[in-house]
Amino acid sequence: MNRIATLKRQASMLGAAFLMAFAAAANAAPAAAVEIQEVKTPGGLTAWLVEDHTVPIIAMNFAFRGGSALDPQDKRGLATFLAATLDEGAGDLDSQAFQQALESTATKLSFEADRDDLSGRLQTLASNRDRAFDLLKLAVNDPRFDAEPVERMRARLLASVRSDATDPENIASEKWLKLALGDHAYVNKPDGTVEGLQAVTADDLRALRNRIFNKAGLKIAVVGAIDAKTLAPILDEVFGALPATGDLASVPEAQVRKGNAVEVVAFDIPQSVIMFGTGGLKRDDPDFIPAYVMNSILGGSGFGSRLTEEVREKRGLTYSVYSALWTLDHAGLFIGGAATRNDRAAETVKVIQDEIARMAKDGPTEKELAEAKTYLTGAYALRFDSNAKIARELLGIQLNDLGIDYINKRNRLVEAVTLEDVKRAARRVLDSGDLLVTVVGKPDNLTSTGG
């Protein structure tokens, strides 16, 4: 999935989430009540477990370091292709038999490649636990890559890439990443290119699996009706045969372009799609939490944010405008987007630029900070209202090296943010308010500058 599209969707949903946050905080178990066990297996693996027998379901999320940023230049989309074919037959089960086995045990199994990782998700009934993990073991250790499912997945991926090539939001995000990051590997979409997907062979898929799938780069989160004693040998059975280390190339640190620039991409549509941004902070930066609070006030909280107030409510320029912090292993980015009529695109860009410059110069008010803290701490519980959500959250915490106690201290970190902290983070991220902007459409009175 396009990560920028995911960030946009999350930001647009936050207005509704705001209305739910206080009820959730009052009625649901707080995040701090989630008890995480660190499970050490006899084979040397480590996993985080939240044992919960309330419902007879087990959810598991796991990830290997190494994603689409490592795709060869002539085979862009290789990691996504691998993710698409891992559950299309394994061991002595061809694609149809493997899918039937999943269906007969009510097991959901999927894989996904992002720029830095290749991840997997498993969800099953506790009563079908052993068979579900047997199927996962086959997919991880012995995928078949038979000709028929490989070609079927190739056709599906090619159709998606061709569709994205005419989607203005995808075009805007691709152009913005190129404008911001130049030739860095992060510019290349995980979904790949037509030429790259056409060049991938089954041997390429096997070779990439062998490089990525190793115990050193593995993170595991399990939530549900299973205890640590039962889980440990199962994890060794599933992942224990993997090599200790992999053979992955390194990804260089990204250098984000500074300054103002606008790139207009002519596209015959009635609306202009706008993407804007600049460099951000990586997740381990001490100022990340203050920057996160700042972004919530600016454009990350949906309805109620400054950008929504200025761009939508006061001027009626767009239905939705958002901003987000996008953290990658080798880059931190601040991004945002909107869509508006072609004849109001220039005005929309100017309002966004002015509002970001104002935040960079003056920061938020005490009232805005207090409201943001209340919202962010109250809404945190919404991330833990299902086994699947908890497993996803735990995996993200592991991938970001935040520590097993992060859930317990996260809200305290937000509460501790001062007005000066947010102003400092705003100056660091937004600098003087300079923005890189891409616009896809036929905007009036707006042309490319400094591209």
- pLDDT single digits (tens) 161-172: 999 999 999 999
Each residue of 92-110: pLDDT tens digit? 999 999 999 999 999 999 9
Please say if the pLDDT value at position 413 is more than 90: yes
Please say if the pLDDT value at position 24 is more than 80: no
Same domain flag for 362 and 270:
yes
Confidence of residue 30 (pLDDT cuts 50, 70, 90): very low
**What secondary structure does DSSP assign to 303-353, as a single string?**
TTSHHIIIIIITT---S-EEEEEEEETTEEEEEEEEEEEGGGHHHHHHHHH
pLDDT for res 31 = 53
Residue 7 lies in a domain: no
pLDDT for res 13 = 47
Please answer whether residues 217 and 46 qualify as being in contact, where contact means their C-beta atoms are separated by less than 8 angstroms: no
Residue 304: domain span: 261-441
Same domain flag for 178 and 296:
no
* Listed residue (190, 179, 326, 204) closest to 255, CA to CA: 179
Orientation angle between helical segments 288-295 and 406-415, nearest 10 degrees: 70
* Listed residue (26, 46, 51) closest to 220, CA to CA: 46
Same domain flag for 339 and 231:
no
Please say if the pLDDT value at position 243 is more than 90: yes
pLDDT for res 20 = 43
pLDDT for res 9 = 56
Each residue of 123-157: pLDDT tens digit? 999 999 999 999 999 999 999 999 999 999 999 99
Sign of the dihedral defined by the CA atoms of residues 310, 314, 316, 320, in that order: positive
pLDDT for res 27 = 41
Same domain flag for 227 and 328:
no
Q: Dihedral, CA atoms, 199, 203, 205, 211, nearest 10 degrees? A: -120
pLDDT for res 4 = 63
Q: Which residue has the tokens 């009529």?
A: 341
Residue 393 lies in a domain: yes
The domain that holds 60 is classified in CATH as 3.30.830.10
Confidence of residue 7 (pLDDT cuts 50, 70, 90): low
Same domain flag for 301 and 195:
no
Please say if the pLDDT value at position 401 is more than 70: yes
pLDDT for res 40 = 98
Each residue of 268-312: pLDDT tens digit? 999 999 999 999 999 999 999 999 999 999 999 877 899 999 999
Confidence of residue 176 (pLDDT cuts 50, 70, 90): very high
Same domain flag for 184 and 304:
no
**Which two three-digit tokens encode residue 138?**
């086959």
Please say if the pLDDT value at position 21 is more than 90: no
pLDDT for res 11 = 56
Q: Which residue has the tokens 């409201």?
A: 371
Domain final position from 205, 239, 273 = 239
Same domain flag for 297 and 163:
no
pLDDT for res 179 = 97
Domain final position from 208, 239, 270 = 239
Residue 386 lies in a domain: yes
- Say how many domains are in the chain: 2
Please answer whether residues 296 and 307 qualify as being in contact, where contact means their C-beta atoms are separated by less than 8 angstroms: no
Of 17-26, 249-258, 309-318, 374-383, least confident by mean pLDDT is 17-26
* Listed residue (309, 280, 261, 311) closest to 431, CA to CA: 280
Please say if the pLDDT value at position 233 is more than 60: yes
- Residue 143 and residue 279: Cα distance in Å, rounded? 39
Residue 390 lies in a domain: yes
Model's pTM, two decimal places? 0.92
Residues 11-17, mean pLDDT to the nearest whole number: 48
Q: Angle at the Cα of 231 (from 225 to 234), degrees rounded to 5?
A: 125
Residue 394 lies in a domain: yes
Same domain flag for 301 and 168:
no
Of 73-77, 179-183, 429-433, least confident by mean pLDDT is 429-433
Please say if the pLDDT value at position 246 is more than 80: yes
**What secondary structure does DSSP assign to 260-282, as a single string?**
-EEEEEE---SEEEEEEEEE---
- Residue 170 and residue 274: Cα distance in Å, rounded? 11
Domain final position from 187, 204, 239 = 239
pLDDT for res 26 = 38
What is the average pLDDT value for the chain, to the nearest integer?
93
Instruction: Please tell me whether residue 406 adopts helix, strand or coil conformation.
Output: helix
Cβ neighbors of 139 (< 8 A, separation 6 or more) are: 86, 87, 90, 98, 109, 111, 120
Residue 30 lies in a domain: no
Residue 144 lies in a domain: yes
pLDDT for res 302 = 77
Same domain flag for 275 and 233:
no
Of the two residues 184 and 5, the one the predictor is more confident about is 184
Residue 78 lies in a domain: yes
Same domain flag for 196 and 69:
yes
Residues 1-28, mean pLDDT to the nearest whole number: 49
Please answer whether residues 304 and 15 qualify as being in contact, where contact means their C-beta atoms are separated by less than 8 angstroms: yes
Q: What's the number of CA atoms in the CB half-sphere (13 Å) around residue 54?
A: 7
Rg (CA), the chain: 23
Same domain flag for 185 and 327:
no
Same domain flag for 286 and 198:
no
- Residue 292 and residue 296: Cα distance in Å, rounded? 6
